[in-house]
Structure formats: structure tokens, C-alpha cells
Amino acid sequence: MTDKDTGDEKTPEATDKDTPVDDLVTTQHSITVKRRKLNYTTTTGRVVLRKEVLTDGKFDGHLAKAEVFLTAYTLDGADPAKRPVTFAFNGGPGSSSVWLHLGLLGPRRVVSGDVGELVPPPYDLVDNPETLLAHSDLVFIDPVSTGFSRAVKGEKPGEFHGFQGDVESVGEVIRLWTSRHGRWLSPKFLAGESYGTTRAAALAEHLQTRYGMYLNGLMLISSVLDFGTLDFSEGNDLPHSLFLPTYAAIAHYHGLHGDRPLADVLAEAEEFASRDYPWALARGHRLSEEERASAVSRYAALTGLSEDYVDRVNLRVEHVRFFTEVLRSQRKVVGRLDSRFTGADTDYGRELFSEDPSYSAIMGPYTAALNHYLRAELEYRNDLPYEILTRSVHPWSYKEFEGTHVTVANKLSAAMRANPDLKVHIAYGHFDGATPYYAAEHVVAHLQVPTELLDNIEAAYYPAGHMMYVHEPSRVQQSKDLAAFVQASANR
């Protein structure tokens, strides 16, 4: 059963045949979760964002500026005042929401396989009985230029391809959906992954200050809140220390630590990364030969790299260099997004790998599943290419941070201070080479909030990568963890 809906709010401009209007399609579905049948409504399509125009100081109407694609799931018969709603998105910048949508949270999920047992094309979709829909309505948002979202005719896409423009446009989608569906009194959550955590932290502050919308919780998956912790630029030694425990975890996964427990390896790596290693880097040429040799030896033992290599790169191993080097003797490279994955390269004298084998492993299944799902099951049709992960948003503008590094730790801190009931769940993957867990822990440890508010932050760790739900045991556990977080934080 389908119904074509042109939007809940029609303006005079929307009557013009050349002016875009909402093109939403609704379908009815059901899923069984723990022997309980859930009937739900899916709304799929593009919502038009508008801007107020002033000409010579006079109001000149609301003009369309972008069409943003979303997929919303609402449980039939639920009380809107008690039913939580979660707004979800991925990162990039330039990524659609497909990963969280079909990998973890939605009622349908892609079957992609995992390391050593990848599913061959044409892939498949199955019900997801662990879906967060059992506990919260879901709204998946594709920022402008991702998915089917686009700027309208006459508007510049670049205005949305930057930190502030992105926050404002996604925030406007959240405000519109909340208002049109009568959900201002619903418990509200944001779920972001990777750069989506940057967006989520900024949105928590933006929604409060711009619209007075206070949230119940943030779900930050593979978080990056301070880019200074990840930027391997000259003179910034911080990332070298913060990536080290992840390098050690990767070495352990690939058998370079023998039968030592992973917990023991991580404890040693974290201790070295927090004290002796940053001290050695800070000493520079003041480091004695004996001290340098000791640091090189310990670093090499933890990471699985040769002492000669560690010495030649001056104790500073950039992350893609590590992924290319650590298994070079086996003629393999390891993945950045998920370093459990390995792959071949064009040759094995390269300084940096030519592609990320973990991304190559999952791109095909998620793309095929999403394109099939939207058209065949949700009955939304659009001839545009669905942009899974696009480079067209680059260069991404960080003009608001000119002269400094990008951070939203201050915005998250401000949101938590203003809303002491805001809860935060942070998910870490031990084999995530893109947003390492120790770097995220470092940022949390430096949030500018009263000590008692740190109790509002919970952490979950998984033996997997950036998209930890690719690993089936991690997916099942993470689903339970997020469900428990929403239930505990809804305050109803």
C-alpha cells in the first residue's frame, strides 16, 4: 500500500510548477521482534528546505534552497509523547546514511559477510530483529549532495558543503520533521557515525541555542570530536601517541603478539602512549642514544614494525603508512576503516596503499541493497544516482575554524552544561584505524564540564572496526547496548 504525499506544509511558492515540493512516499510494513509483531509506517523521499528572503529590507517569501532525502520509520499506534525518536546520519563528509540504516539501526539489513567470508554479489536483504525501531522511531537523513539530496536549481551546493552550512541544514530537517509530526514532547536522540559524530555534537548545541530543542541523548559511533587528535601534520605529535594503542591492537589481531591477551597488549600500549612515548617525542634531539634506542625498541615491539623502520621514520608512523607497512613482508595491506581486513596492492614497495581493502569489501553490498530496497520495497523511485559516498562535497569548508584546528568538544561541553540531563553513548572499535579509540577517550577526558556530568557519558568497546556492526557478534551486542541506552535515557 502506497500513498503519494507532497508535504504537510504548502506555501504559495509550492504551487508554481517550477518550484520543488516534497515527494514523500509512505508504505506499511511489519517485523517480528522477540515474538512481538511490530507494525510500522515508512516515509521515504525528499523534503524541501526553504529560506526566508528579504529584498530591500522587505520580506519576499520563502524560497526553496535544497531537497533533502530521508527515510523515516514510525511505530503504528504509539503515543508520540512517550515514543522516542532517533535522527541518524553517517559522516564522510560526503557519506549518505546507508551504513547505519542498513547495517545497524533499521528494520531491514544488508547481508555482507565479514572477514574471510564475504558474501558474493548480488547480495541480499533480511529482517533485522535487533532493530532500534523496537525502542525508538527512526529518521535517517542524507545531507545535501549525498544520497538523493541536492541543492535546488539556482542554489550553490557549496553553501551546504561545510561545517556550519551542514549543521544548519540538517538541523532544519530535524526541526521540520519534529514540528510536522507533533514530536516536540517526544524523547529525542541523535545517532552519528564518524564525521556524523562531529555533526551530532555540533547539532546538540545548535538545536538548543537556535530552536530551544533539548535532546535526551547522543549516540556517537566511531567518534571524532577534535581533529587535532587525528591530524598528522608537522609539529603535531599528539596523533602519534593516540594512534599507538590501535596499532598495537591491529598487530595483535594479525598474530604479531603471539598468544598474549589483547587486554594485556592494550594496557601496555596505553601506558607507553600516555607517558614514555610522548616524552620521547617531545625531547627531540635532546633524546640520548640509549633513550632513543629504548623508545624505538618498545614502539616496534608493540606495533609489529621493524626497529629499523621505526628508527627511519623518526618514531613517527602516520596511519596509512602503518597500514601499508605492518604486513608488507606478507605482501598484504590492512584496512583503514577496519584493520581486520587485508588486501592486495599494485606492488609492495609503496609508501601508501592504493586503496582501503575494508572499504572495498563493504561498498558493493551496501550500494546494491540500498538501491534495491528504496525502489522495490519502499517504492520510492528517482533516476538520480544514489550517492553512497561522494567526493563532490570537497573541499569541505571549515572557515569557522580559520587559524585553529577543527573541534566540537567545546560545543558538546556547552550542550551538556546547559542540559545536564543530556546523556552520551560512545562506541569504540579496537580495530578502527580511522577514528582510534584512544584519541576519542583523550577528548572525553578533556571535556569542559563539571566532574559529575561525566557520569552522563557511557562507553562501549567492540572487537571490530569503524563500522563495528560488520562483525556479527559486535552488531548483536551493539544493538543491545543502544537499545538499553535509549530506554534508560528517554526519561519517560
- pLDDT over 50 at 12, yes or no: no
Residue 111 neighbours by CB distance under 10 Å: 12
Long-range own/partner contacts, residues 310-318 (CB < 8 A, 24 or more apart) = 315/240, 315/277, 315/280, 315/281, 316/237, 316/240, 316/281, 317/240, 317/243, 317/247, 318/232
- pLDDT over 90 at 389, yes or no: yes
pLDDT score recorded for residue 11: 42
**CA dihedral for 126, 131, 136, 138, sign (positive or negative):** negative
**What phi and psi, each to the nearest 5 degrees, are found at residue 478?**
-65, -40
Query: Mean pLDDT, the chain, as a whole number?
Result: 94
pLDDT score recorded for residue 7: 41
Q: Percent helix, strand, coil in the chain (nearest 5)? A: 40, 25, 35
Section 409-414 average pLDDT: 98
Q: DSSP letter for 263, please.
A: H
pLDDT score recorded for residue 54: 74
Query: DSSP assignment of 300-352, as one string?
Result: HHHH---HHHHHHTTT---HHHHHHHTTGGGT-EE-SS-TT-EE--S-SS-SS
- pLDDT over 80 at 4, yes or no: no
pLDDT score recorded for residue 492: 60
Section 274-285 average pLDDT: 97
Query: 457: which strand partners?
Result: 424
Report angle CA 278, 283, 288 to the nearest 5 degrees.
115
Section 242-263 average pLDDT: 98
pLDDT score recorded for residue 51: 85
pLDDT score recorded for residue 57: 78
pLDDT score recorded for residue 19: 83
Integer Cα distance of 201 and 180 in angstroms = 24
Element (H, E) at 220: strand 217-223
- pLDDT over 50 at 411, yes or no: yes
Residue 79 identity: D
Counting residues of the chain whose pLDDT is more than 90, the rounded percentage is 93
pLDDT digits 0-9 by tens, 21-72: 999 999 999 999 999 999 999 999 999 999 887 777 777 677 899 999 999 9
How would residue 288 be classed by pLDDT, with cut points 50, 70 and 90?
very high
- pLDDT over 60 at 2, yes or no: no
Integer Cα distance of 312 and 46 in angstroms = 53
Query: 46: which strand partners?
Result: 69
Say whether 246 sits in a helix, a strand or coil: helix
pLDDT digits 0-9 by tens, 70-125: 999 999 999 998 999 999 999 999 999 999 999 999 999 999 999 999 999 999 99
Q: Report residue 23 as a C-alpha cell.
A: 515527494
The listed CATH number (3.40.50.970, 3.50.50.60, 3.40.50.1820, 3.40.50.300) that belongs to domain 2-227+363-489: 3.40.50.1820
pLDDT score recorded for residue 16: 55
Integer Cα distance of 461 and 450 in angstroms = 25
**CA dihedral for 391, 395, 399, 404, sign (positive or negative):** positive
Q: Report residue 398 as a C-alpha cell.
A: 571549515
Domain ranges of the chain: 2-227+363-489, 232-355
